[in-house]
Amino acid sequence: MKHLNITLTLAVLVLYSLSFASALAVDVDYITIYPGEDGRVTLKIENNEGFDIEDISVALDLGAKKVYNEFGVVVEEREALPFSVVGSSEKTIDSIDDNDDDSVSFTLKSSTDIIPKDYNIPYKIKYFNAEENGSVIEQTGTFGLRVSAKTEIDFSAEVQGTAILNQEGTLSLEIINKGLGDIKSVSVQIFPQGFELISKNKIFIGTINADDTDTASFDVIYKNKNPTLSVKVDYKDFDNKDQTQTVNIPIKVYTQEEALELGLIKKSNTMYYVFAVILIILIWIIYRKIKKSRKKNKQREI
């Protein structure tokens, strides 16, 4: 009797595992789309049920959802996904024979303000057992897709103060992330053209968030009136792929005389102050000598 119970238990477990493994197999290609754009996803449905199925309905579930328990308490809540289906969100297949397959396709469009990341898209499949009229079977699942961010970077050069020939100055490159995704591991390497570099030639910035900026600054001595800020910017885009951009921005440098004439700098009065101080000291020395000489002369007359 004991052996009979064990045998029956094993038989139930085998039948259960077979029924569990016999569910429809759904295969979806992983796709990448961009904010405000659309992409086509195809669900391949393979019938492993062991019987023919009919009136198959495949629907995407993008709306908000609340799941309640037996006491009416919300146990799961989901906001509406930031996608819309171009066309119908439900597709049908007349029938799929046992061990056969068929497919349906949907065109998904992401919202323009969607946050770039990986998303799980829920689906629901309903079908009839062709061998048992009225037997409705339902299966749910999800498939993944990625919303990526196109990299859009702009650059601008900034000169600290006025660039004067043969004088020290600071050149800065501002990196502007105009895209919707962060860029990471940003580094800037400078290649001097028309100036001498007196600071390090490579600066690591790190991450620049979407709709943000950061700056790399270099100390230089201007050796040419028309130098070029030539730099190489390396970074990883939203998809973690290595990217490189080369930037060449011309810089205007002035001679001391040109800068004075244009009023870009003020003429230094330091020498006048030095001469004035020296003159005051000389006058004081001469005054002291004259005063001392007069004092001696008075003493002699006495």
CB atoms within 10 A of CB 55: 13
Which of 118, 147, 176 marks a domain boundary? Answer: 147
Which of 94, 125, 147 marks a domain boundary? Answer: 147
Do 133 and 224 fall within a single domain? no
Task: Give the length of the chain.
Answer: 302
pLDDT at 151 over 80: yes
- Residue 231 pairs with which residues in a beta bridge? 190, 247
Q: 3-state class of 7 per DSSP?
A: helix
CATH classification of the domain holding 244: 2.60.40.10
Do 218 and 110 fall within a single domain? no
CA atoms within 13 Å, Cβ hemisphere of 15: 6
Whether 174 maps to a domain, the answer reads: yes
Domain extent for 176: 153-261
Strands 136-147 and 118-129: antiparallel
Token pair of 286, please? 């001469």
Whether 241 maps to a domain, the answer reads: yes
What's the pLDDT score for residue 54?
A: 92
Segment 3-21 shows an average pLDDT of 40
pLDDT at 245 over 90: yes
pLDDT at 280 over 60: yes
Whether 266 maps to a domain, the answer reads: no
d(CA 145, CA 121): 8
- Residue 147 pairs with which residues in a beta bridge? 33
Do 134 and 189 fall within a single domain? no
Q: What are phi and psi of 119, to 5 degrees?
A: -125, 150
Do 116 and 185 fall within a single domain? no
Per the model's pLDDT, the better-predicted residue between 296 and 210 turns out to be 210
What's the pLDDT score for residue 3?
A: 46
Query: Is 32:111 a contact under the CB 8 Å cutoff?
Result: no
Do 136 and 162 fall within a single domain? no
What's the pLDDT score for residue 6?
A: 40
What's the pLDDT score for residue 135?
A: 79
d(CA 256, CA 268): 11
Do 167 and 120 fall within a single domain? no
Which of 94, 121, 147 marks a domain boundary? Answer: 147
Domain count, the chain: 2
Strands 212-222 and 38-46: unpaired
What's the pLDDT score for residue 222?
A: 94
Whether 289 maps to a domain, the answer reads: no
pLDDT at 289 over 70: yes
Closest by alpha carbon to 128, among 90, 91, 96, 88?
A: 96
Do 140 and 236 fall within a single domain? no
Whether 290 maps to a domain, the answer reads: no
Sign of the alpha-carbon dihedral angle for 100, 25, 81, 128 = positive
Q: What are phi and psi of 181, to 5 degrees?
A: -115, 155
Task: Rank 14-23, 129-138, 230-239 by mean pLDDT and report only the highest.
Answer: 230-239
pTM, rounded to two decimals: 0.66
Do 182 and 257 fall within a single domain? yes
pLDDT at 235 over 90: yes
pLDDT at 212 over 70: yes
Per the model's pLDDT, the better-predicted residue between 258 and 165 turns out to be 165
Summarised one tens digit per residue, pLDDT across range 18-28 is 344 447 899 99
Query: Is 25:48 a contact under the CB 8 Å cutoff?
Result: yes
What's the pLDDT score for residue 183?
A: 94
Q: Helical H runs in the chain?
A: 2-21, 256-261, 270-301
Do 77 and 141 fall within a single domain? yes
Token pair of 256, please? 């001391």
What's the pLDDT score for residue 301?
A: 62
Summarised one tens digit per residue, pLDDT across range 32-45 is 999 999 999 999 99
Do 177 and 197 fall within a single domain? yes
d(CA 290, CA 283): 10
Whether 60 maps to a domain, the answer reads: yes
Segment 66-72 shows an average pLDDT of 77
What confidence tier does 66 reach under pLDDT thresholds 50, 70, 90?
A: confident
Do 166 and 142 fall within a single domain? no
Whether 135 maps to a domain, the answer reads: yes
Whether 6 maps to a domain, the answer reads: no
Do 86 and 165 fall within a single domain? no
* C-alpha distance from residue 252 to each of 24, 76, 163 (Å): 69, 62, 7
What's the pLDDT score for residue 19?
A: 41
In the sheet where 118-129 sits, what is the strand order?
Answer: 32-33, 136-147, 118-129, 53-60, 90-96
Token pair of 170, please? 């600071």
Closest by alpha carbon to 117, among 82, 142, 76?
A: 82
d(CA 175, CA 118): 27
- Residue 127 pairs with which residues in a beta bridge? 137
